[in-house]
């Protein structure tokens, strides 16, 4: 944030503080999830306040919110640190994620509209272009968007909330997404299966396809950690 955050006198003090804290929280979250602030690093409250051109209060409030979101850990008498997700924790998250995917696939397929199917198709087309270009960053972002749209189309606010929390925690562990042409091809074929089942309103097919996709992703992560790459 290169300029001072708006602190207009026309806004009540309580609302100004809440708004400023939200802006600071969102920026810190962006910095953490992008890897700009790496896992394990201590958050320097004074330095962040100076960088964001705010007082220390909104930074402190923002870090408390980020702790609730599972992105930082506050250690008494030591400070605030970006969480480090262990392999064991990541695998637990993948298991929960696969269960949520099954529910999302089933619900989305049972209530999806033609416009939503078209939207998913457009995202899939973008994924194919990224795969053909071997654009890992674009594919990773499209992959996250494809998943998020299905969860959103499921129409269950609690499911959306759980999904977002788990996705953010996993991003602390998996920074760069799927790598390698073979893995992109396999991932893309799995997306096509999910899309086809949703388009046919096949709720059980979509449930199984989305769940398998996440579990296969878990295995791809494990393979990437072996010396041979799996």
* pLDDT tens per residue across all 230 residues of the chain: 444 444 444 334 444 556 888 999 999 999 998 889 988 999 999 999 999 999 999 999 999 999 988 899 999 889 999 999 889 999 999 999 999 999 999 999 999 999 999 999 999 999 999 999 989 889 989 999 999 999 999 999 999 999 999 999 998 887 545 556 678 889 999 999 999 999 999 999 999 999 999 999 999 888 877 654 44
Q: What is the pLDDT of residue 11?
A: 38
Q: What is the pLDDT of residue 39?
A: 87
> How far is 45 from 62, CA to CA, in rounded Å?
10
CA neighbor of 151 nearest in space, from 112, 197, 205, 204 = 112
Beta strands in 76-194 (DSSP E): 79-82
pTM (two decimals): 0.79
CA dihedral 16, 160, 128, 211 (to 10 degrees): 150
> How far is 52 from 61, CA to CA, in rounded Å?
14
Q: Say how many C-beta atoms besides its own lie within 10 A of residue 214's C-beta.
A: 21
Q: What is the pLDDT of residue 136?
A: 86
CA dihedral 23, 79, 166, 215 (to 10 degrees): 140
> How far is 59 from 25, CA to CA, in rounded Å?
7
C-alpha angle with apex 62: 12 to 153, nearest 5 degrees?
Answer: 95
**CA-CA distances (angstroms) from residue 169 to 43, 118, 160?**
17, 30, 14
Q: What is the pLDDT of residue 184?
A: 85
Taking the CA of residue 201 as centre, how many other CA atoms within 13 Å lie in the half-sphere pointing to its CB? 5
Q: What is the pLDDT of residue 192?
A: 97
Domains belonging to the chain, first-starting first, are: 13-82 (1.10.10.10), 87-224 (1.20.120.530)
Q: What is the pLDDT of residue 17?
A: 53
Cβ atoms of residues 69 and 113 within 8 Å: no
Q: What is the pLDDT of residue 9?
A: 41
Q: What is the pLDDT of residue 100?
A: 98
Q: Which two tokens stand for residue 89?
A: 């924790």
Q: What is the pLDDT of residue 113?
A: 98
**CA-CA distances (angstroms) from residue 72 to 28, 85, 172?**
10, 10, 10
Q: Which two tokens stand for residue 117?
A: 């199917």
Q: What is the pLDDT of residue 18?
A: 63
Q: 53: alpha, beta or left, given left = phi > 0 and alpha = psi -120 to 50?
A: left
Taking the CA of residue 87 as centre, how many other CA atoms within 13 Å lie in the half-sphere pointing to its CB? 8
Q: What is the pLDDT of residue 179?
A: 58
């Amino acid at each position: 944030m290169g300029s001072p955050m708006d602190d207009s006198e026309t806004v009540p003090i309580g609302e100004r503080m809440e708004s400023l804290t939200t802006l600071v929280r969102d920026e810190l979250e962006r910095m953490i999830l992008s890897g700009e602030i790496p896992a394990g690093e201590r958050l320097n409250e004074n330095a962040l306040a100076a960088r964001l051109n705010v007082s220390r209060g909104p930074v402190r409030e923002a870090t408390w919110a980020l702790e609730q979101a599972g992105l930082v850990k506050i250690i008494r008498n030591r400070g605030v640190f970006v969480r480090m997700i262990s392999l064991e924790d990541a695998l637990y998250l993948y298991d929960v994620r696969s269960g949520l995917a099954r529910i999302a696939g089933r619900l989305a397929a049972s209530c999806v509209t033609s416009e939503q199917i078209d939207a998913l198709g457009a995202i899939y087309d973008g994924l194919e272009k990224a795969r053909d270009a071997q654009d890992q960053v674009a594919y990773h972002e499209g992959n996250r968007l494809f998943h998020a749209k299905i969860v959103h189309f499921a129409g269950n606010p609690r499911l959306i909330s759980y999904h977002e929390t788990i996705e953010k925690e996993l991003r602390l562990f998996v920074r760069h997404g799927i790598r390698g042409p073979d893995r992109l091809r396999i991932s893309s074929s799995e997306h096509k299966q999910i899309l086809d089942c949703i388009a046919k309103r096949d709720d059980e097919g979509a449930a199984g396809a989305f769940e398998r996709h996440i579990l296969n992703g878990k295995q791809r992560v494990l393979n990437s950690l072996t010396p041979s790459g799996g």
